[in-house]
Amino acid sequence: MAAEIISGTDMARTIRTEITEGVQEMKGRTGRVPGLATVLVGADPPSQSYVRMKNRAASEVGIESRQIDLSEEITEDELLGWIEGLNADPDIHAVLVQLPLPDHIDKGRVLEAIHPAKDVDGFHPVNVGRMTVGDPAAMIPCTPLGVIELLMRSGIDPRGQHAVVVGRSNIVGRPMGALLLSEQRGGDATVTVAHLLTKDLASHTRMADILVVAAGAPGLITADMVRPGAVVIDVGINRIEDPSREKGYRITGDVRFDEVKEVASHITPVPGGVGPMTIAMLLSNTLRAARALIPGSSG
Ligand code: NAD
């Protein structure tokens, strides 16, 4: 029997409605709304489009969004000065610096400069540490948080299950493993984290009750690598040349959707799976940050 397809697009729409209501409630209580600042350095077209998308999504739910466009030539100290200003700005509750940054800027220094309470990407070492020890005050990176939300809202609780994560980046794989292992909602799994140097990847993926793939390797996961009845979450977003498309490319995941859907019990599509959930979680983290920073904003 073919797998149930989990629509991240539909789920994200529901979450955005909930966030809109949350923002309205905050406005009613305090007269204030959450403020998100996105900082874009340079003119990299994909980064420009991501930032635009994030700001549009924020405005749609009533979050005040401010896009700060800075020159590619900006010095590290000048950029740190901007972040300091946003940290101190009472109307801004969430600060996001779009990556990648130009080579002459130390990414680590910049991410550490964002106040942990406003760090809605969850990349600050304080938040990484809090997440790792299961501190509920942690800001959690949006993509792995979106995967947990997607599982739980689909009635799939990782508790006691064997979850296998393919990929160990700081943005997706590593925090994904930490969340699945944590003792919090959406955690309590037995976790394997595989990566490029893992021997015999298939022997690990075949053990998964829940398989989360974040490798950036198009079509990496084939049907024979998936245990019948497993849940398969495809985080990969890969551009594949396709002259038949107007843009000359199409977007595909790390999982061979057509064959794996015949084996899995649940599967996420690309696009329309984890991607929309990531943006919804950014909005959710922004509302959460604002609630923590605005006195009397939650009951
Ligand atoms: P990354 O390149 O930083 O990390 C990839 C990880 O996968 C590495 O740990 C590497 O060891 C592992 N890996 C790569 N090829 C492998 C292979 N053949 N076998 C086993 N492991 C392998 O990438 P990232 O930032 O973690 O992103 C991963 C994918 O997820 C990319 O396609 C990216 O575009 C996508 N992504 C999607 C979202 C979303 O919102 N859906 C968000 C972030 C990233």
Mean pLDDT of 131-159: 97
Tens digits of residue pLDDT in 147-167: 999 999 999 999 999 999 999
- Tell which residue, 273, 267, 230, has the closest CA to residue 251: 273
The predicted pLDDT at position 275 comes to: 97
- The answer to whether residue 130 scores a pLDDT higher than 90 is yes
Rounded Cα distance between 38 and 182, Å, is: 30
Could you tell me if 204 and 224 are in contact, meaning their C-beta atoms sit under 8 angstroms apart?
A: no
- The answer to whether residue 242 scores a pLDDT higher than 80 is yes
- Tell which residue, 55, 160, 120, 140, has the closest CA to residue 286: 120
* Confidence bin at 9 (pLDDT 50/70/90): very high
The strand order across the sheet containing 190-194 reads 4-5, 266-267, 231-234, 210-213, 162-166, 190-194
Task: Give the residue carrying structure tokens 């009845």.
Answer: 229
From the CA of 216, give the closest atom in ligand 1.
Answer: 32
From the CA of 146, give the closest atom in ligand 1.
Answer: 40
Cα 91 versus chain centre, distance: 24
Pairing status of strand 238-241 against strand 249-252: antiparallel
The predicted pLDDT at position 37 comes to: 98
Pocket test for ligand 1, best of 121, 149, 166, 172 (most atoms within 8 A of CB): 172
The predicted pLDDT at position 266 comes to: 98
Structure-token pair, residue 147: 């995967």
Q: How many beta carbons lie within 10 A of that of residue 82, not counting itself?
A: 19
- Tell which residue, 185, 186, 230, has the closest CA to residue 207: 230
Task: Give the residue carrying structure tokens 């200003």.
Answer: 85
* Confidence bin at 298 (pLDDT 50/70/90): confident
- Tell which residue, 235, 212, 112, 228, has the closest CA to residue 165: 212
- The answer to whether residue 28 scores a pLDDT higher than 90 is yes
* Confidence bin at 241 (pLDDT 50/70/90): very high
The strand order across the sheet containing 35-41 reads 64-70, 35-41, 94-97
Burial call 110-137: b when 16+ CB within 10 Å, e when fewer: bbbbbbbbbbbbbbbebbbebbeeeeee
- The answer to whether residue 214 scores a pLDDT higher than 80 is yes
Of 177 and 299, more confident = 177
Contacts of 8 (CB under 8 A, 6+ apart): 146, 150, 268, 269, 272, 273, 274, 275, 276, 277
Q: Mind telling me the catalytic residues?
A: 54, 98, 121
- The answer to whether residue 1 scores a pLDDT higher than 80 is no
- The answer to whether residue 196 scores a pLDDT higher than 90 is yes
Residue 155 C-alpha to ligand 1 middle, in angstroms?
Answer: 26
Least confident among 111-115, 189-193, 204-208, 237-241: 237-241
Mean pLDDT of 63-72: 98
Structure-token pair, residue 172: 């997706």
Could you tell me if 39 and 98 are in contact, meaning their C-beta atoms sit under 8 angstroms apart?
A: yes
Q: How many beta carbons lie within 10 A of that of residue 23, not counting itself?
A: 22
The predicted pLDDT at position 212 comes to: 99
Q: What is the mean pLDDT of the chain?
A: 97
Could you tell me if 79 and 102 are in contact, meaning their C-beta atoms sit under 8 angstroms apart?
A: no
Residue 147 C-alpha to ligand 1 middle, in angstroms?
Answer: 14
Residue 143 C-alpha to ligand 1 middle, in angstroms?
Answer: 11
User: Residue 210: is it exposed, middle or buried by C-beta count within 10 angstroms (0-12/13-18/19+)?
Assistant: buried
- The answer to whether residue 253 scores a pLDDT higher than 90 is yes
Residue 141 C-alpha to ligand 1 middle, in angstroms?
Answer: 14
- Our answer on whether the CB atom of 144 is closer than 6 Å to any ligand 1 atom is no
- The answer to whether residue 98 scores a pLDDT higher than 80 is yes
User: Residue 297: is it exposed, middle or buried by C-beta count within 10 angstroms (0-12/13-18/19+)?
Assistant: buried
